[in-house]
């Protein structure tokens, strides 16, 4: 399986929506109200992310990105206006093969190069990916109902 990793472009918005739906598969009522919030106006200067495709088929199988939110329009993992929120998902048939870890690590390294001090992510308590974030040194910042909000200090 040959993979191609590339930067997410504004034209990738429909693909991001598919991966956002996967990332939020464990969420309940928060899901619908947050979908547009995490995708609106993608491509601002501080929007950074990567997509992975199967090289031969050019089929997207995973994506990771982050966005910064404001106090008056926070995301689910909002910590402050300087800490971007990470969103990541891999297509179910390609999970548990190291793709998610690679995508997240790549985004973390990019965030460091961009000068960010931390990243946050919201993960449903029942989502198995929680263990991956913990292995990558994300720490629980708070719990909001069924969600754990994690922080990675860069």
Look up residue 35 and give its two tokens.
């979908």
Please give the structure tokens belonging to residue 116.
Answer: 């960010």
How far apart CA 37 and CA 145 sit, in angstroms, is 20
| Mean pLDDT, contiguous 10-residue spans, the chain (154 residues) | 90 87 73 73 79 93 93 92 94 94 96 96 90 96 91 97
pLDDT of residue 31: 64
Give the pLDDT confidence score for residue 28 in this predicted structure: 63
Query: What pLDDT is attached to residue 147?
Result: 87
Output the six-digit token pair for 60. Answer: 């997207």
The closest of 133, 102, 106, 120 to 7, measured between CA atoms, is 106
Work out the burial of residue 1: count CB atoms within 10 Å of its CB; fewer than 13 is exposed, 13-18 middle, 19 or more buried. exposed
């Amino acid at each position: 399986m040959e993979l191609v990793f590339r930067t997410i472009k504004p034209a990738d918005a429909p693909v991001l929506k598919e991966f956002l739906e996967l990332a939020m598969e464990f969420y309940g009522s928060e899901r619908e109200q947050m979908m547009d919030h995490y995708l609106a106006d993608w491509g601002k200067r501080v929007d950074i992310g990567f997509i992975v495709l199967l090289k031969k088929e050019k089929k997207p199988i995973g994506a990771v990105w982050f966005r910064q939110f404001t106090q008056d329009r926070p995301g689910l993992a909002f910590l402050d206006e300087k800490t971007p929120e990470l969103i990541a998902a891999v297509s179910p048939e390609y999970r548990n093969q190291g793709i998610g870890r690679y995508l997240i690590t790549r985004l973390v390294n990019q965030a460091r190069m961009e000068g960010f001090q931390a990243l946050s992510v919201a993960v449903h308590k029942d989502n198995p990916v929680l263990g991956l974030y913990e292995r990558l040194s994300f720490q629980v910042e708070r719990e909001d109902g069924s969600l754990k909000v994690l922080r990675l200090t860069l």
